[in-house]
Structure 1
Amino acid sequence: MRELFLTDHEAYIRWIDLPGDGPVRVFVHGLGCTAASDFAHIAAHPALGGGRALLVDLLGHGLSDRPADFDYRMESQAGAVAAVLDHLGLTGVDLVGHSMGGAVTIHLAAARPDLVARLVVAEPNLYAGGGAFSSPVAAQDEDTFVASGFARMLALARRADYAARLRLADPRAVHRSATALVEGSVPAPGDLLATLPLPRTFLLGELSRPDPDAEKAAGFGVPVIEVPGAGHNLMLDNAEGFATALARALSATPSPTPGHDGD
């Protein structure tokens, strides 16, 4: 594990650095998750042919610190990940984000295009409104969620593996992150994705269809690759299929980025 002290937030952001040759791949997890639990097995998968991998825990999640005054918005998390890449002197990385992490990586690619060569997002939050997880969290008062809602969510978690990951997250960070997803940002990640001047791919679980965001991404000219037999947790539901789809996305010949024609 490696760490960087972010002076602006007086907090450490931490990541696992897996050595390798070739392209550097940076993996960013979703809400209430950790990078190692979601992506270690993917980063080491033979389909990806090796390469250095950074498994980054966002602030408030996993092994990273939990600054009380951090807003936990996607743009702010993107800035923290960018600080890691600047600290390591990395540019032109392959950036992979799932769910909330997809929104974070889109903001990062838009704000710092010098850092990113390719972007792959797996069922990202493209527009305001949240999802099945974030919406019920954001509907609660922050202090109430911290005091009792978080524990209740852990107790009622449908997936034991998700509860195990969620236990490592800070309740206040989860609430503020969920609220940010519901409120959305300006510009929205979807609008940014539409015009990013770099190769972009959208990964979709077969069981998540129909998916309006995937349809919008396809309308922007973003290739959509389906992972068979998978729902929203693509890399856990079908690791083999996800790794194969990711390898395909990272090896595809770039196509021209179309202009955004509105929503």
Structure 2
Amino acid sequence: MNVFAADDRGNVLRYIDLYSETGSYEPLVYIHGLGCASSSDYPPVVNSGSYSGCRSQLVDLMGSGFSDKPQDGHYTSDAQADVLSKLIVQQGFSAVNIFGHSAGAFIALKLAQRVSIEVNKLILCEPGLTDYGIAMLSETASMSAEQFVDEGFSDLLAQLKAQGTNEAWLGPFSVASPYAIYQWARSALDDNAEDWLSDLANLNRIKGVILSDSATGDDIARFERAGCAVELVANAEHMIAYDNPGGLAQAISNILRSRSGKRSVRSRT
């Protein structure tokens, strides 16, 4: 894995850099959702035969996956966007593409707004919080940080295990920092409550949104009004990377090949 010094205290962010020799120099930076890790979520996507083979950086955010997890770290969406901005600038890219899933879409949007180099395309996958996510994160945020670290985190893991439908997600969730989960939960709830769709609409970039094909017409329309091309992926729910990695790979590739923000709705099997 590649490493990046996230601060001046020796804490390290880790990421996988794929297709750096054969693909486009302009990378697509992957930002995972809460409790996830790009190193576990996206290898099946970028290895799919449907994938464009563009340079792809699978980032484990601080507090997640293989990246460091200092107890006194800063894990809000703003703090994570700042670290990613430094990572991108340090690599000397002239332009970048950004992908963000679920609550990671808030980080992706903030990164697109503040990074000092050109953002060619912003791709959001199932952006924002579902009703399930809001309920789970609200329960987390109702505790103090100490309560969540001491008891709430282990209780949440047991709850997810008992549900029996979260095995893929449970892996990266179980190794995430409880401090990071707690701070990000509170931050994501705040982000979701704000008018982030207006920020998305005002971003003058090529924008694409990827949704499950169970998305309603209203879901699709609100992203089209924000100037986004919409791609639908069949046989998938919120965790599209787990449910249909090939369909997600095709949807990402379609948006990357787009030369404008022309709206389109397609279903990917």
Structure 1 unaligned blocks of 5 or more: 258-263
- Contact 2:122 2:205 (8 Å CA) reproduced: yes
Equivalent position SS for 2:261 = coil
Residue pairs, 1:188-227, within 5 angstroms: 188-207=195-214, 209-210=215-216, 214-227=220-233
Between the aligned partners of 2:70 and 2:210, the Cα distance in structure 1 is: 32
| Structure 1 stretch displaced more, 238-247 or 18-27 | 18-27
The residue aligned with 2:77 is 74
Does the C-alpha gap of structure 1 residues 107 and 201 become closer, same or farther in structure 2, counting only changes over 3 Å?
A: same
The alpha-carbon deviation at position 176 of structure 1 amounts to 0.7
Q: 1:21 aligns with which of 20, 23, 38?
A: 23
Between the aligned partners of 1:18 and 1:138, the Cα distance in structure 2 is: 36
Provide the alpha-carbon RMSD of the alignment.
2.5
- Contact 1:126 1:188 (8 Å CA) reproduced: no
Residue pairs, 1:142-157, within 5 angstroms: 142-157=145-160
| Structure 1 stretch displaced more, 55-64 or 135-144 | 135-144
- Contact 1:16 1:54 (8 Å CA) reproduced: yes
Between the aligned partners of 2:153 and 2:194, the Cα distance in structure 1 is: 30
The alpha-carbon deviation at position 242 of structure 1 amounts to 1.0
Structure 2 unaligned blocks of 5 or more: 264-269
Report whether the alignment pairs 1:255 with 2:265. no
Residue pairs, 1:56-205, within 5 angstroms: 56-112=59-115, 114-125=117-128, 131-157=134-160, 158=163, 159-184=166-191, 188-205=195-212
| Structure 1 stretch displaced more, 9-18 or 25-34 | 9-18
The alpha-carbon deviation at position 197 of structure 1 amounts to 1.1
Which AA in structure 1 matches 2:181? Answer: V
Report whether the alignment pairs 1:30 with 2:29. no
Between the aligned partners of 1:165 and 1:141, the Cα distance in structure 2 is: 23
Which AA in structure 2 matches 1:217? Answer: F
- Contact 2:145 2:179 (8 Å CA) reproduced: yes
Cα deviation digits, residues 1-45 of structure 1 (max 9, x gap)? 111112356521111111332142211100011101111121222
Equivalent position SS for 2:210 = strand
The residue aligned with 1:235 is 241
Does the C-alpha gap of structure 1 residues 206 and 69 become closer, same or farther in structure 2, counting only changes over 3 Å?
A: same
Cα deviation digits, residues 35-75 of structure 1 (max 9, x gap)? 01111121222222322211101111111112333331112
- Contact 2:168 2:242 (8 Å CA) reproduced: no
Between the aligned partners of 1:212 and 1:136, the Cα distance in structure 2 is: 28
Give the TM-score of the pair, scaled to structure 2. 0.86
Equivalent position SS for 1:204 = strand
Does the C-alpha gap of structure 1 residues 126 and 251 become closer, same or farther in structure 2, counting only changes over 3 Å?
A: farther
Cα deviation digits, residues 68-90 of structure 1 (max 9, x gap)? 33331112111111111112112
The sequence identity of aligned pairs, in percent, is 28
- Contact 1:107 1:192 (8 Å CA) reproduced: no
